[in-house]
Structure 1
Amino acid sequence: MSAEPMAALDGESLRAREALGASVRSGFEKAGYAPVSAPALQPASIFLDMSGEDIRRRMYVFADPAGDELCLRPELTIPVCRLYLESAGGVQKLCSMGPVYRYQQRGSAKLREFTQAGLECLGAADAEAADAEVFSLAARALADAGLASYRIEMGDLALFDALIDALDLPPGWRSRLKRHFWRPDYFRKLLDRLAAGDASEETGDRQALVSAIAGLDEAQAKDVIEDVLKLAGIAPVGGRTLEEVAERLIEQAELASSSVPKAAATLIADFLAVSGAPQEAIARVRTLAKGAGVSIEPAIARFERRMELVAKKGLDLSRAHFATGFGRNMAYYTGFVFEFRVDSLGPDAMICGGGRYDGLLSALGAGTPVPAVGCAVGIERLLAAVAKEKGQ
């Protein structure tokens, strides 16, 4: 990859990138995905609300002369979903290609402007079949480009949600664990506090505030906390945002007002430790759930059917690694997630990623739920991976 994060390309490099991008998109079109083009300029609020924190902190956000807050699109899924909402709806298979933009730290060799080729399967009722199709098309795109060596990381957020729903947890903790699963560092700390069940660290005025918000729903509690901090002239410290301060205080209120079985926290931790080959890992998940006396069999059956459908498409899953704690870094994923990685590329190892995002269209304004799954291929990274494999 170029050491210049927004480098211009010479004729040969430009032709190679454009040829590979066109080849990937052509493969998607041959599979029945209609090409669309979404604007590079997008409303910033949508991405700020719905992307993961990794994307949010790397967005290019600015105000236009009219005062509207815009951003350069950091990915293609949300822009294509917005196009879908402007159409007649129904089942649609769409593909797109174009530049996306993400800030990188100074000195990083990672590109700030790079090309993605993506596909989105929207409205298909058979979720497992759609997952298998998108996953297989991603693998085929890499194979057609000439890439033979890569590894696959995959997970399934629906398995985690099923486990949380099956456990005897207070509603506040149940929703919080689901919502923050994709933030691994924060989630682990959250789980540790859940297991400890101890709010004793809060004293004095802080404990009084914790007591005051106990029993309120999350939106009400955040409003109270924001008002109190503003009235007191208190600004967040230690790099924390107001949102993070509110999250911490609400957790303390929930710990103080609810009891969580330690066995439940232990089971969650054991569940998240499962990893390995997909079939072996899901067998361990089934054994773990049965041993704890909880049923998540429907979610397990859906996972197994998905893997069967992938195998029927001729994909070799021997290089796939499944982990129950794998969730990618986007907030909108809700189910099956995956990445194709080439470790020799270092920080650019992830060359293709995707997954299921059944809640995104509703969050964008769809009147009824729209099942959805998609993926995106990084063209520059794929080009570098192929060249590296060929020794160029």
Structure 2
Amino acid sequence: APLGLRAATGDMGILMAAVRGLSTTDRRKAALLRHIWRPKRFRALLDRYTGKAKPPETRVALLQAVDALEGAGPFIGLRSKSEIAARIDALREDAATPPISEAEAGILDDILNLREKSHNVLERLRDISVDLPVISGAVDMMDARLTALDARGVDVQALDFEGSYGRTTLEYYDGFVFGFYAETRPDLPAVASGGRYDALTSVLGQGRSIPAVGGVIRPELVLELGGAA
């Protein structure tokens, strides 16, 4: 490959579809989706929603209080008393929500832990979609993408796929993501990276969206690796 680069790919759309398909409340799914690009926070929420992580005793006491705001002292900050009360009510509702099943949490982990050649990952995702049919559409898109890449001469048999790839980059990527890395220089960031961000066009277009893809090339890294000026 030019400059000795290794291509890495992922698909945020598959993970997001899996979260949307969980058997839990819309509030919990929205929280997981909001933090999907923050792996540590996402894991903390998932552990809480599955019951693996127990809530702090202070929160338990707060939610069990008849009047959680009694004796709270002066209100400081931008939130009003009614907003704070609404937040406490939401926490009480969440505490009473049944946990996400171990089976569904396990499926999320299976997707996040995928790290193989793309064609092998596709077969594994087909198997996973039997238990979580909601991801089938995103998996079909991956299949179509690999077919299109193959038709254009890309060796998809050698194309790496990582289930977690793209989760620590810019938050507007919501589909296929990619990056190119110098195999002999693991200390360097991606020489080039990018992905799909259809949802961003919906925000900018006030509800009207179009398919969109973008990327960035870091010319200083190209030069450092010996590329032509």
TM-score calculated relative to the size of structure 1: 0.48
Q: 3-state DSSP class of the match of 1:167?
A: coil
Q: Which of 144, 148, 152 is equivalent to 1:305?
A: 144
Which residue, 183, 197, 202 being the options, matches 2:57? Answer: 202
Provide the residue aligned with 1:382 in structure 2.
Answer: 222
Tell me which amino acid in the other structure corresponds to 2:109.
A
What is the identity, as a one-letter code, of the residue corresponding to 1:301? Answer: D
**Superposed CA RMSD:** 3.4
CA–CA distance in structure 2, aligned partners of residues 250 and 346 of structure 1:
48
Q: Secondary structure at the match of 1:345?
A: coil
Correspondence for 1:276 = 116
The equivalent residue for 2:155 is 316
Query: What's the TM-score once normalised by structure 2's chain length?
Result: 0.78
Is 1:296 the counterpart of 2:140 in the alignment?
A: no
Q: State whether structure 2 residue 28 is matched by structure 1 residue 173.
A: yes
Whether 1:163 and 2:23 are equivalent positions in the alignment is no
Residues 170 and 306 (structure 1), Cα distance of their counterparts in 2 relative to 1, 3 Å cut? same
- What is the one-letter code of the residue matched to 1:164? V
Any idea what SS the aligned residue of 2:226 has? helix
Aligned counterpart in structure 2 of residue 354 of structure 1, from 183, 187, 194: 194
Report the CA distance shift for 1:262/1:230 in structure 2 as closer, same or farther (over 3 A).
farther
Q: d(CA) in 1 for partners of 2:140 and 2:177?
A: 17
- Selected match of 2:75 from 215, 231, 240: 231
Q: In structure 2, the residue corresponding to 1:303 is in which secondary structure?
A: helix
Matches within 5 A, 1:1-392: 147-196=2-51, 199-203=54-58, 207-208=62-63, 231=75, 253=92, 255-259=94-98, 260-290=100-130, 292=131, 294-328=133-167, 329-386=169-226
Q: CA deviation at 1:277?
A: 0.3
> How many residues get paired?
215
CA distance in 1, matches of 2:215, 2:24: 33
The one-letter code of the counterpart of 2:226 is: V
Is the 1:275–1:324 contact (alpha carbons within 8 Å) kept by the matching residues of 2? yes
Q: How many Å separate the matches in 1 of 2:112 and 2:66?
A: 32
- Partners of 1:158 and 1:336 within 8 A in 2: yes
d(CA) in 1 for partners of 2:148 and 2:9? Answer: 15
Q: Distance in 2 between matches of 1:210 and 1:184?
A: 33
Identity %: 28
**Deviation sequence 1:13-49 (CA, Å, 0-9, x none):** xxxxxxxxxxxxxxxxxxxxxxxxxxxxxxxxxxxxx
CA distance in 2, matches of 1:150, 1:377: 13
- Alpha-carbon separation, structure 2, partners of 1:158 and 1:294: 14
C-alpha separation between the residues in 2 aligned to 1:319 and 1:287?
Answer: 21
Secondary structure of the residue aligned to 2:213 is strand
Deviations 1:219-273 (A, max 9, x none): xxxxx9xxx898257xxxxxxxxxxxxxxx8995564031122322222122222
Partner SS for 2:57: coil
CA contact (8 A) 1:198 1:255 kept: no
